[in-house]
Protein backbone atom coordinates (compact mmCIF):
# COMPACT_ATOMS: atom_id res chain seq x y z
CA UNK A 1 0.00 0.00 0.00
CA UNK A 2 1.23 3.53 -0.74
CA UNK A 3 0.02 7.12 -0.67
CA UNK A 4 1.32 9.93 -2.83
CA UNK A 5 1.57 13.60 -1.91
CA UNK A 6 -1.99 14.47 -2.88
CA UNK A 7 -3.51 11.59 -0.94
CA UNK A 8 -3.97 9.15 -3.81
CA UNK A 9 -3.51 5.50 -2.97
CA UNK A 10 -1.74 2.64 -4.68
CA UNK A 11 -1.47 -1.06 -3.96
CA UNK A 12 0.17 -4.28 -5.11
CA UNK A 13 -1.89 -7.44 -5.58
CA UNK A 14 -0.30 -10.38 -3.76
CA UNK A 15 -3.15 -12.87 -4.21
CA UNK A 16 -6.43 -12.97 -6.09
CA UNK A 17 -9.31 -15.37 -6.63
CA UNK A 18 -12.51 -15.25 -8.63
CA UNK A 19 -15.12 -17.81 -9.57
CA UNK A 20 -18.43 -17.56 -11.41
CA UNK A 21 -21.00 -18.92 -8.92
CA UNK A 22 -24.26 -17.60 -10.43
CA UNK A 23 -25.78 -16.83 -7.06
CA UNK A 24 -28.77 -15.16 -8.74
CA UNK A 25 -29.56 -18.21 -10.86
CA UNK A 26 -33.32 -18.63 -11.11
CA UNK A 27 -34.24 -15.35 -9.40
CA UNK A 28 -35.65 -13.89 -12.59
CA UNK A 29 -37.77 -16.94 -13.25
CA UNK A 30 -39.82 -16.94 -10.06
CA UNK A 31 -43.43 -17.84 -10.62
CA UNK A 32 -45.89 -14.98 -10.71
CA UNK A 33 -46.66 -13.89 -7.17
CA UNK A 34 -43.87 -16.02 -5.66
CA UNK A 35 -40.98 -14.37 -3.85
CA UNK A 36 -37.62 -14.87 -5.57
CA UNK A 37 -35.24 -17.10 -3.60
CA UNK A 38 -31.63 -18.18 -3.89
CA UNK A 39 -31.54 -21.77 -5.08
CA UNK A 40 -29.88 -24.53 -3.08
CA UNK A 41 -27.21 -25.32 -5.70
CA UNK A 42 -26.37 -21.62 -6.13
CA UNK A 43 -25.97 -21.21 -2.38
CA UNK A 44 -23.72 -24.26 -2.15
CA UNK A 45 -21.50 -23.06 -5.02
CA UNK A 46 -21.17 -19.63 -3.46
CA UNK A 47 -20.34 -20.89 0.01
CA UNK A 48 -17.66 -23.20 -1.38
CA UNK A 49 -16.08 -20.26 -3.22
CA UNK A 50 -16.28 -18.07 -0.10
CA UNK A 51 -14.53 -20.76 1.93
CA UNK A 52 -11.59 -20.46 -0.45
CA UNK A 53 -11.65 -16.67 -0.05
CA UNK A 54 -11.67 -17.02 3.74
CA UNK A 55 -8.75 -19.45 3.63
CA UNK A 56 -6.71 -17.05 1.49
CA UNK A 57 -7.50 -14.17 3.82
CA UNK A 58 -6.37 -16.15 6.85
CA UNK A 59 -3.19 -17.26 5.09
CA UNK A 60 -2.38 -13.67 4.14
CA UNK A 61 -3.21 -12.51 7.68
CA UNK A 62 -5.70 -9.90 6.49
CA UNK A 63 -6.25 -7.30 9.21
CA UNK A 64 -9.09 -5.27 7.70
CA UNK A 65 -11.72 -6.37 5.22
CA UNK A 66 -15.08 -5.39 3.87
CA UNK A 67 -17.19 -8.11 2.27
CA UNK A 68 -20.27 -7.09 0.31
CA UNK A 69 -23.24 -8.68 -1.44
CA UNK A 70 -25.19 -7.08 -4.26
CA UNK A 71 -28.25 -7.69 -6.46
CA UNK A 72 -28.96 -11.36 -5.74
CA UNK A 73 -29.07 -10.78 -1.98
CA UNK A 74 -30.98 -7.54 -2.40
CA UNK A 75 -33.77 -9.37 -4.25
CA UNK A 76 -33.90 -12.80 -2.64
CA UNK A 77 -36.41 -13.49 0.12
CA UNK A 78 -33.92 -15.86 1.74
CA UNK A 79 -31.00 -13.44 1.42
CA UNK A 80 -30.73 -12.87 5.18
CA UNK A 81 -30.62 -16.58 5.99
CA UNK A 82 -27.95 -17.01 3.31
CA UNK A 83 -25.80 -14.32 4.94
CA UNK A 84 -26.21 -15.99 8.33
CA UNK A 85 -25.08 -19.32 6.92
CA UNK A 86 -22.10 -17.71 5.16
CA UNK A 87 -20.87 -16.22 8.42
CA UNK A 88 -21.36 -19.48 10.31
CA UNK A 89 -19.51 -21.60 7.74
CA UNK A 90 -16.81 -19.20 6.52
CA UNK A 91 -16.44 -16.53 9.18
CA UNK A 92 -17.12 -13.83 6.58
CA UNK A 93 -19.72 -11.20 7.43
CA UNK A 94 -21.33 -10.02 4.19
CA UNK A 95 -22.89 -6.57 3.98
CA UNK A 96 -25.70 -6.02 1.47
CA UNK A 97 -25.04 -2.70 -0.22
CA UNK A 98 -27.50 -0.52 -2.14
CA UNK A 99 -27.34 -0.05 -5.92
CA UNK A 100 -26.24 3.54 -5.34
CA UNK A 101 -23.31 2.52 -3.16
CA UNK A 102 -22.40 -0.23 -5.62
CA UNK A 103 -22.23 2.39 -8.37
CA UNK A 104 -20.18 4.79 -6.23
CA UNK A 105 -17.66 2.10 -5.32
CA UNK A 106 -17.27 1.17 -8.99
CA UNK A 107 -16.70 4.87 -9.78
CA UNK A 108 -13.97 5.06 -7.15
CA UNK A 109 -12.30 1.93 -8.49
CA UNK A 110 -12.33 3.23 -12.07
CA UNK A 111 -11.30 6.81 -11.31
CA UNK A 112 -7.71 6.39 -12.65
CA UNK A 113 -9.13 5.50 -16.09
CA UNK A 114 -11.23 8.65 -16.48
CA UNK A 115 -10.02 11.35 -18.86
CA UNK A 116 -10.21 14.71 -17.04
CA UNK A 117 -10.39 16.54 -20.39
CA UNK A 118 -13.83 15.04 -21.16
CA UNK A 119 -16.46 16.62 -18.88
CA UNK A 120 -18.87 13.70 -18.56
CA UNK A 121 -18.64 9.93 -18.32
CA UNK A 122 -20.94 6.96 -18.65
CA UNK A 123 -19.72 4.16 -16.42
CA UNK A 124 -21.49 0.81 -16.52
CA UNK A 125 -21.12 -2.60 -14.91
CA UNK A 126 -22.91 -5.55 -16.53
CA UNK A 127 -23.42 -8.08 -13.74
CA UNK A 128 -25.11 -11.42 -13.35
CA UNK A 129 -28.38 -10.15 -11.90
CA UNK A 130 -28.35 -6.47 -12.77
CA UNK A 131 -26.66 -3.74 -14.77
CA UNK A 132 -25.52 -0.56 -13.03
CA UNK A 133 -24.96 2.61 -15.02
CA UNK A 134 -23.68 5.94 -13.69
CA UNK A 135 -23.70 9.43 -15.19
CA UNK A 136 -20.66 11.33 -13.98
CA UNK A 137 -19.24 14.82 -14.14
CA UNK A 138 -15.46 14.75 -14.50
CA UNK A 139 -13.01 17.53 -13.69
CA UNK A 140 -9.49 18.22 -12.47
CA UNK A 141 -8.54 19.40 -9.01
CA UNK A 142 -5.16 21.02 -8.39
CA UNK A 143 -4.53 18.90 -5.29
CA UNK A 144 -6.52 15.72 -5.94
CA UNK A 145 -6.02 15.30 -9.69
CA UNK A 146 -8.94 13.77 -11.60
CA UNK A 147 -12.24 14.14 -9.73
CA UNK A 148 -15.57 12.50 -10.54
CA UNK A 149 -18.96 13.52 -9.19
CA UNK A 150 -21.89 11.16 -9.60
CA UNK A 151 -24.85 13.06 -11.02
CA UNK A 152 -27.13 10.02 -11.04
CA UNK A 153 -27.15 6.26 -11.39
CA UNK A 154 -29.59 3.58 -12.45
CA UNK A 155 -29.75 -0.12 -11.63
CA UNK A 156 -31.52 -2.29 -14.17
CA UNK A 157 -32.75 -5.74 -13.02
CA UNK A 158 -31.18 -7.14 -16.19
CA UNK A 159 -27.96 -9.13 -16.03
CA UNK A 160 -26.27 -11.90 -17.95
CA UNK A 161 -27.57 -14.75 -15.81
CA UNK A 162 -31.19 -13.62 -15.89
CA UNK A 163 -31.11 -12.85 -19.60
CA UNK A 164 -29.46 -16.17 -20.43
CA UNK A 165 -32.19 -17.98 -18.51
CA UNK A 166 -34.96 -16.06 -20.25
CA UNK A 167 -33.63 -15.81 -23.79
CA UNK A 168 -31.22 -18.72 -23.98
CA UNK A 169 -27.50 -18.89 -23.48
CA UNK A 170 -26.18 -21.84 -25.40
CA UNK A 171 -28.08 -21.04 -28.58
CA UNK A 172 -29.29 -17.46 -29.06
CA UNK A 173 -31.12 -16.69 -32.29
CA UNK A 174 -31.37 -13.25 -33.89
CA UNK A 175 -34.86 -12.59 -32.55
CA UNK A 176 -33.81 -13.33 -28.97
CA UNK A 177 -30.71 -11.16 -29.27
CA UNK A 178 -32.76 -8.30 -30.71
CA UNK A 179 -35.32 -8.65 -27.91
CA UNK A 180 -32.60 -8.32 -25.26
CA UNK A 181 -31.18 -5.21 -26.94
CA UNK A 182 -34.61 -3.62 -27.20
CA UNK A 183 -35.50 -4.41 -23.58
CA UNK A 184 -32.37 -2.74 -22.24
CA UNK A 185 -32.73 0.23 -24.58
CA UNK A 186 -36.31 0.84 -23.50
CA UNK A 187 -35.28 0.71 -19.83
CA UNK A 188 -32.61 3.37 -20.39
CA UNK A 189 -34.63 5.84 -22.45
CA UNK A 190 -36.00 7.82 -19.52
CA UNK A 191 -32.56 8.04 -17.87
CA UNK A 192 -31.22 9.40 -21.15
CA UNK A 193 -34.02 11.94 -21.48
CA UNK A 194 -33.78 13.26 -17.91
CA UNK A 195 -30.06 13.97 -18.17
CA UNK A 196 -29.95 14.84 -21.89
CA UNK A 197 -27.09 12.38 -22.31
CA UNK A 198 -27.60 11.89 -26.04
CA UNK A 199 -27.21 15.63 -26.59
CA UNK A 200 -23.95 15.59 -24.63
CA UNK A 201 -22.75 12.62 -26.72
CA UNK A 202 -23.43 14.58 -29.92
CA UNK A 203 -21.31 17.44 -28.54
CA UNK A 204 -18.41 15.05 -27.96
CA UNK A 205 -18.60 15.70 -24.23
CA UNK A 206 -18.94 12.09 -23.03
CA UNK A 207 -16.49 9.26 -22.41
CA UNK A 208 -17.53 5.68 -21.74
CA UNK A 209 -16.03 3.10 -19.37
CA UNK A 210 -17.21 -0.48 -19.04
CA UNK A 211 -16.33 -2.69 -16.09
CA UNK A 212 -17.57 -6.25 -16.41
CA UNK A 213 -16.69 -9.70 -17.66
CA UNK A 214 -18.48 -8.86 -20.89
CA UNK A 215 -16.20 -5.98 -21.88
CA UNK A 216 -13.00 -7.63 -20.67
CA UNK A 217 -13.87 -10.79 -22.60
CA UNK A 218 -14.63 -8.75 -25.70
CA UNK A 219 -11.27 -7.00 -25.41
CA UNK A 220 -9.41 -10.28 -24.98
CA UNK A 221 -11.12 -11.76 -28.03
CA UNK A 222 -10.25 -8.70 -30.12
CA UNK A 223 -6.61 -8.89 -28.98
CA UNK A 224 -6.54 -12.63 -29.78
CA UNK A 225 -4.91 -13.38 -26.43
CA UNK A 226 -3.85 -17.01 -25.92
CA UNK A 227 -5.13 -16.64 -22.36
CA UNK A 228 -6.70 -13.80 -20.45
CA UNK A 229 -4.20 -11.20 -19.21
CA UNK A 230 -5.49 -8.43 -16.96
CA UNK A 231 -2.44 -6.23 -17.49
CA UNK A 232 -3.04 -6.22 -21.24
CA UNK A 233 -6.79 -5.66 -21.07
CA UNK A 234 -7.23 -3.14 -18.26
CA UNK A 235 -7.35 0.40 -19.62
CA UNK A 236 -7.42 -0.49 -23.32
CA UNK A 237 -9.60 1.59 -25.64
CA UNK A 238 -11.92 -0.22 -28.06
CA UNK A 239 -13.57 1.62 -30.93
CA UNK A 240 -17.21 0.77 -31.54
CA UNK A 241 -16.25 -0.71 -34.94
CA UNK A 242 -13.76 -3.05 -33.27
CA UNK A 243 -16.36 -4.01 -30.68
CA UNK A 244 -18.93 -4.72 -33.37
CA UNK A 245 -16.50 -7.02 -35.19
CA UNK A 246 -15.57 -8.90 -32.01
CA UNK A 247 -19.25 -9.18 -31.11
CA UNK A 248 -20.05 -10.72 -34.50
CA UNK A 249 -17.17 -13.13 -34.03
CA UNK A 250 -18.56 -14.36 -30.71
CA UNK A 251 -22.16 -14.49 -31.96
CA UNK A 252 -21.09 -16.59 -34.95
CA UNK A 253 -19.44 -19.18 -32.69
CA UNK A 254 -21.30 -22.23 -31.49
CA UNK A 255 -21.59 -22.80 -27.77
CA UNK A 256 -18.86 -25.44 -28.00
CA UNK A 257 -16.57 -23.00 -29.82
CA UNK A 258 -17.15 -20.28 -27.21
CA UNK A 259 -16.48 -22.75 -24.40
CA UNK A 260 -13.21 -23.76 -26.07
CA UNK A 261 -12.04 -20.17 -26.49
CA UNK A 262 -9.26 -19.49 -23.94
CA UNK A 263 -10.69 -16.08 -23.01
CA UNK A 264 -14.31 -17.24 -22.69
CA UNK A 265 -14.30 -20.77 -21.26
CA UNK A 266 -17.07 -23.07 -20.12
CA UNK A 267 -18.16 -20.89 -17.17
CA UNK A 268 -18.92 -17.88 -19.36
CA UNK A 269 -19.84 -19.52 -22.68
CA UNK A 270 -23.60 -19.44 -22.06
CA UNK A 271 -23.55 -15.93 -20.56
CA UNK A 272 -21.43 -13.90 -22.95
CA UNK A 273 -24.07 -13.37 -25.66
CA UNK A 274 -26.51 -11.94 -23.12
CA UNK A 275 -23.78 -9.57 -21.95
CA UNK A 276 -23.04 -8.53 -25.52
CA UNK A 277 -26.72 -7.70 -26.04
CA UNK A 278 -26.72 -5.43 -22.97
CA UNK A 279 -23.51 -3.77 -24.16
CA UNK A 280 -24.95 -3.40 -27.66
CA UNK A 281 -28.01 -1.61 -26.29
CA UNK A 282 -25.86 0.84 -24.32
CA UNK A 283 -23.67 1.62 -27.33
CA UNK A 284 -26.63 2.04 -29.70
CA UNK A 285 -28.32 4.52 -27.37
CA UNK A 286 -25.10 6.45 -26.72
CA UNK A 287 -22.76 6.21 -29.75
CA UNK A 288 -19.73 7.68 -28.02
CA UNK A 289 -17.45 5.99 -30.55
CA UNK A 290 -15.08 4.21 -28.23
CA UNK A 291 -15.09 2.43 -24.88
CA UNK A 292 -12.38 2.19 -22.25
CA UNK A 293 -12.20 -1.28 -20.74
CA UNK A 294 -11.79 -1.55 -16.97
CA UNK A 295 -10.73 -4.77 -15.30
CA UNK A 296 -11.40 -3.03 -12.02
CA UNK A 297 -14.36 -1.46 -10.25
CA UNK A 298 -16.30 -2.51 -7.18
CA UNK A 299 -13.51 -4.49 -5.50
CA UNK A 300 -10.93 -1.76 -6.09
CA UNK A 301 -13.38 0.83 -4.81
CA UNK A 302 -13.80 -1.12 -1.59
CA UNK A 303 -10.05 -1.56 -1.24
CA UNK A 304 -9.31 2.12 -1.82
CA UNK A 305 -11.90 3.05 0.81
CA UNK A 306 -10.29 0.72 3.34
CA UNK A 307 -6.84 2.06 2.54
CA UNK A 308 -7.89 5.68 3.00
CA UNK A 309 -9.41 4.80 6.37
CA UNK A 310 -6.30 2.81 7.28
CA UNK A 311 -4.12 5.88 6.69
CA UNK A 312 -5.88 7.66 9.57
CA UNK A 313 -6.15 4.74 12.02
CA UNK A 314 -4.00 4.78 15.19
CA UNK A 315 -0.67 2.95 14.87
CA UNK A 316 1.79 1.26 17.18
CA UNK A 317 5.30 2.62 17.36
CA UNK A 318 6.43 0.01 14.83
CA UNK A 319 3.97 1.44 12.27
CA UNK A 320 1.52 -1.44 12.46
CA UNK A 321 -2.17 -0.55 12.88
CA UNK A 322 -3.61 -1.12 16.35
State the DSSP string of 45-88: HHHHHHHHHHHHHHHTT-----EEE-HHHHH-TTHHHHHHHHHH
- pLDDT tens for 223-245 read 999 999 999 999 999 999 999 99
pLDDT tier at 282, thresholds 50, 70, 90: very high
pLDDT tier at 192, thresholds 50, 70, 90: very high
Task: List the domain boundaries for the chain.
Answer: 2-96, 99-300
The answer to whether the beta carbons of residues 228 and 216 sit under 8 Å apart is: yes
The answer to whether the beta carbons of residues 211 and 299 sit under 8 Å apart is: no
Q: pLDDT at position 26, please?
A: 80
Mean confidence (pLDDT) of the chain: 89
Q: pLDDT at position 311, please?
A: 65
In CATH terms, 99-300 corresponds, of 3.30.420.150, 3.40.50.150, 3.40.50.2000, 1.10.3720.10, to 3.30.420.150
Report the distance separating Cα 65 and Cα 306, nearest Å: 7
Residue 322 has pLDDT above 60, yes or no: no
Report the distance separating Cα 82 and Cα 78, nearest Å: 6
pLDDT cut 90: percent of the chain above it: 71
Cα 268 vs. chain centroid, distance in angstroms?
14
Residue 78 exposed, middle or buried by CB count within 10 Å (0-12, 13-18, 19+): middle
Dihedral of alpha carbons 13, 14, 19, 24, sign: negative
For the entire predicted model, the pTM comes to 0.86
- pLDDT tens for 7-58 read 455 677 788 888 889 898 887 665 556 788 999 999 999 999 999 999 999 9
From 130, 124, 181, 112, select the one nearest 153 (Cα to Cα): 124
Q: pLDDT at position 154, please?
A: 96
Residue 292 has pLDDT above 70, yes or no: yes
pLDDT cut 70: percent of the chain above it: 90
- The reply to whether 99-300 shares the fold of 2-96 is yes
Report the distance separating Cα 26 and Cα 279, nearest Å: 22
Q: pLDDT at position 56, please?
A: 94
The answer to whether the beta carbons of residues 158 and 150 sit under 8 Å apart is: no
Report the distance separating Cα 38 and Cα 24, nearest Å: 6
Backbone φ and ψ of 136, nearest 5°: -115, 150
pLDDT tier at 121, thresholds 50, 70, 90: very high
Q: Which CATH class is domain 2-96?
A: alpha beta
- pLDDT tens for 75-104 read 899 999 999 999 999 999 999 999 899 999
- Least confident residue range of 121-125, 139-143, 201-205, 281-285: 139-143
What is the average per-residue pLDDT within 242-255? 96
Q: pLDDT at position 321, please?
A: 41
Amino acid sequence: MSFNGNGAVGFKVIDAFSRIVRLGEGLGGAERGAAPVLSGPAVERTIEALKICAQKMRRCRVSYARSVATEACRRAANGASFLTRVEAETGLSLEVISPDEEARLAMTGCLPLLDPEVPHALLFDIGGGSTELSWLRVSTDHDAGTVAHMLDSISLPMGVVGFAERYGGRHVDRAAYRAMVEEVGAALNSFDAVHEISAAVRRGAVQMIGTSGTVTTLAAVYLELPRYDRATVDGIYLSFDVMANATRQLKDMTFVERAAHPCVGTERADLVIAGLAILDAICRLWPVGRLRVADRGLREGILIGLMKRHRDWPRHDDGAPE
